[in-house]
Amino acid sequence: MELTDATLDKNIKLEDIRARLVILTFIAIGIFIILISRLWFFQVMGGQRYMELAEGNYIRVVPVDAPRGLIYDRNGQVLVNNRPSIGVTISPTVAEKQPEILHKLGKILGITVDEIKDKLTEKKADPLKPRVVKRDLDDRTLAYIEEHKMELPGVDVVTESIRGYPHGSLGAHMFGYLGEISEEEMSDFKKSGGDYMLGDIIGKSGVENIYEGLLRGGKGRQHLEVNAAGRPLSVIRNEDPIPGHNLMLAIDLKIQKATEEALEEAIERARRGPGDKFKAEAGAAVVLDPRNGEIIAMASNPTFSPELFIGGISKKNWKELMAKENHYPLNNRALMAYPPGSIFKPVTMMGALEDGLVSENENFTCTGRWTGLGRKWAKRCWKRSGHHGIGLKRGMAESCDTVFYIIGHRFYKDARERLQYWSRVFGFGSRSGIDLPTETKGRVPDKKWKREFNRNNPEYQPWYPGDTVNMAIGQGDLLVTPLQIAAFYGAIANGGTFYRPHVGKAMISWDGNVKTEFKPKPEDAKRLPVSKEIIRFIQKSLESVTTQGTASGAFNGFPARVAGKTGTAQVSGKDDFAWFVGYAPAEEPRYVAVVIVEQGGHGGSTAAPAVRKILATALGYNDKGVGYVYDPSR
């Protein structure tokens, strides 16, 4: 039978349909295989990962800060601790959506809306994290907030641990303050392996900064179950933080209190007289153990309260601390550089004796006016009538400028810059290495420094004889810190060994079971290249200052032998700066004390009585300066 055209066309169409069905079947099978493969991959190969992602939708890990280590004095007295504080927080999200809440809360707390906004914007950490807007709520305010919670959405009451200062502002410059970590600081800490994140609180100054790694401890973790809105529902588990180690300082609390009181009294004494009255805007004091370099006390005035920085300092308070009219209270003046005046004279005398530029038995003539550089450049002794015939030891006791003008001129003619050499040997012009931040080097001027400093003024570049002569009495461009002076006189007191000053004494584990003393390194103590005979002569000369010299009035009737030196430094456009440094007992020194009062006038009448009070407390005497007679001399 022959196939018609219609039948043929029909067969072709059937074959075409079968081919298409086969192709579709293979496509369907392929898709099915792909789906089965992906399902197998999701369930078997990626199951754990996706389970973790799912858990992340309802589990939040919150870091828990460790309790910060405590700070003690050398006798175990608490200097800085931690205390509980009840505060009020507000959610930034709620504050943004319902700004009227800020007005209600401000009225309840007695603060302005702007102050609340500052608290909301100051942290760089988690933008959704509630911010503490006020701490240490009183019972009445706390009760009111609890009773009106429904009217204050996003507002909560929290209990937190904050830094406590049981002695107020005492030792503020040494202990330092805390603040929120900056991005730059976080980067530096991470390089050294630190576990830090934005929003963390760290030590910003003082030992809180230097010993940050010991004090901060290790963070804990809290795993919370949260709902879709991110609100906590329950605690799944806690990983407890590791408390920070405690820090013991060399500071003696009793002596620290006496030092701050004595410094404040010295400033007031300079302001009110009884003789001349001075501006006396600020000052500093250092007490050091000459046997090992331990800092027993350190004070700087004006001071500040570290509590101002808890939770972030307000713009108002920061502005006040930075104001020139308030004399920059954050500055630790014990580490700042000043012209030393006559307290520098032992450097000049000791170096000249060692170099053979002067002998112990040499006599000088002081008429009150020295013309060794020519009559045109005549210089005055502080005692205008002159000291007449005077020996080297008495020259120190009465702080005769003429004696030291002559020695300074001899240093200049030696032409080797030996006065600069001895200054550096005795620790000036470089940092001591104390375990506190912001220490300055001071300045030991020489030909090179003067040339570079005056590179734009060629006529001032040459080093003249008068430059060395001025430096010999602690004037000119010379700058030293109270700490450098304490360390130098400590070396004189102990017979010639320079110890690196240090505040830290020991680390104590958080549970109190382990105490680790900070062991000194070999480079922390060095022998000065000066003979024992010369040091003994300097010691006797300094003792004569308090028995028959410029500080005899201040130490009249004092129960122990004291050696020391007065200083009155001249500063252009300002009242003189008053200095005194002394150590006691002179025969077996245990304490060196330095006091400087900016624009305080005479060292003998302003600073020396303060050192008397400090040494009396340190030595256990009940003596606040009885027998002191005003003496306008230096």
| Cα distances (angstroms) measured from residue 9 to each of 1, 15, 16, 25, 561 | 16, 10, 11, 24, 134
pTM: 0.86
Interaxial angle between packed helices 418-425 and 401-414, expressed in degrees from 0 to 180 and rounded to the nearest 10: 110
Q: How far apart are CA 519 and CA 531, in angstroms?
A: 28
Computed on alpha carbons and rounded to an integer, the radius of gyration of the chain in Å comes to 36
End-to-end CA distance of the chain: 145
Domain endpoint, select from 228, 249, 270: 249
| 48-81 per-residue burial string, b: 16 or more CB within 10 A, e: under 16 | eeeeeeeeeeeeeeeeebbbbbbbbbbeeeebbb
Paired strand residues for 517:
506
Write the pLDDT tens digit of every residue in 208-237: 999 999 999 888 887 766 665 556 666 777
**Contact 214/481 with Cβ under 8 angstroms?**
no
Contacts of residue 602, Cβ cutoff 8 Å, sequence gap at least 6: 276, 566, 568, 576, 578, 631, 632, 633, 634
Quick one: pLDDT band at residue 369, thresholds 50, 70, 90?
Answer: very high
Whether residue 119 is found in the same domain as residue 220: yes
Whether residue 369 is found in the same domain as residue 503: yes
Whether residue 265 is found in the same domain as residue 181: no
Q: How far apart are CA 382 and CA 404, in angstroms?
A: 12
Tokens of residue 584, six digits? 């006691």
Tokens of residue 601, six digits? 């006038």
Determine the average pLDDT of the residues in 181-191.
78
Q: How far apart are CA 450 and CA 457, in angstroms?
A: 10
Residue appearing with tokens 């799944």: 236
We report the CATH number of the domain holding residue 609 as 3.40.710.10
Paired strand residues for 80:
71
Q: Which of 76-85, 397-406, 459-468, 617-626 has the least mean pLDDT?
A: 617-626
Whether residue 280 is found in the same domain as residue 172: no
How many CA atoms, within 13 angstroms, populate the side-chain half-sphere of residue 256?
26
User: Which of 153, 183, 161, 158 lies closest to 92 in space, CA to CA?
Assistant: 153
Q: What is the pLDDT of residue 625?
A: 44
Q: What is the pLDDT of residue 630?
A: 37
Quick one: pLDDT band at residue 127, thresholds 50, 70, 90?
Answer: low
Whether residue 546 is found in the same domain as residue 464: yes
Write the pLDDT tens digit of every residue in 61-73: 777 788 999 999 9
Write the pLDDT tens digit of every residue in 406-456: 999 999 999 999 999 999 999 999 999 999 999 999 999 999 999 999 999
Q: Is 52 contained in some domain?
A: no
Phi/psi class of residue 557: alpha, beta or left (left: φ > 0; alpha: ψ in -120 to 50)?
left
Q: How far apart are CA 392 and CA 403, in angstroms?
A: 7
Whether residue 238 is found in the same domain as residue 136: yes
33 versus 565: the higher-pLDDT residue is 565
Q: What is the pLDDT of residue 56?
A: 52
Q: Is 452 contained in some domain?
A: yes
Q: How far apart are CA 407 and CA 398, in angstroms?
A: 16
Tokens of residue 380, six digits? 């005055």
Whether residue 241 is found in the same domain as residue 310: no
Q: Is 8 contained in some domain?
A: no
Quick one: pLDDT band at residue 144, thresholds 50, 70, 90?
Answer: confident
Domain endpoint, select from 199, 217, 249: 249
Whether residue 159 is found in the same domain as residue 301: no
Q: What is the pLDDT of residue 631?
A: 41
Tally of structural domains, the chain: 2
User: Which of 603, 577, 630 lies closest to 279 in space, CA to CA?
Assistant: 577
Domain endpoint, select from 209, 233, 249: 249
Tokens of residue 463, six digits? 């080093």
Cβ neighbours around 129 below 10 Å, total: 12
pLDDT at residue 393 is higher than 90: yes
Q: How far apart are CA 124 and CA 113, in angstroms?
A: 20
Q: Is 33 contained in some domain?
A: no
Whether residue 567 is found in the same domain as residue 600: yes
Domain encompassing residue 232: 61-249
Whether residue 228 is found in the same domain as residue 294: no
- The angle subtended at Cα 557 by Cα 551 and Cα 561, nearest 5°, is 70
94 versus 560: the higher-pLDDT residue is 560
Please give the biggest Cα pair distance in the chain.
159
Q: Is 80 contained in some domain?
A: yes
User: Which of 108, 484, 84, 444 lies closest to 293 in space, CA to CA?
Assistant: 484
pLDDT at residue 385 is higher than 90: yes
| Cα distances (angstroms) measured from residue 417 to each of 88, 177, 405, 449, 455 | 64, 42, 16, 12, 21
**Contact 378/370 with Cβ under 8 angstroms?**
yes
Phi, psi of 239 (to 5 degrees): -115, 110
Q: Is 389 contained in some domain?
A: yes
**Contact 155/92 with Cβ under 8 angstroms?**
no
Q: Is 630 contained in some domain?
A: no
Q: What is the pLDDT of residue 628?
A: 43
Whether residue 236 is found in the same domain as residue 258: no
Q: What is the pLDDT of residue 159?
A: 83
Quick one: pLDDT band at residue 78, thresholds 50, 70, 90?
Answer: very high
We report the CATH number of the domain holding residue 124 as 3.90.1310.10
Beta strands at 515-517 and 388-391: parallel, antiparallel or unpaired: unpaired
Q: How much of the chain exceeds pLDDT 90, in percent?
A: 63
Whether residue 183 is found in the same domain as residue 310: no
Write the pLDDT tens digit of every residue in 490-527: 999 999 999 999 999 999 988 888 889 998 888 899 99
Q: Is 154 contained in some domain?
A: yes
Q: How far apart are CA 301 and CA 597, in angstroms?
A: 9
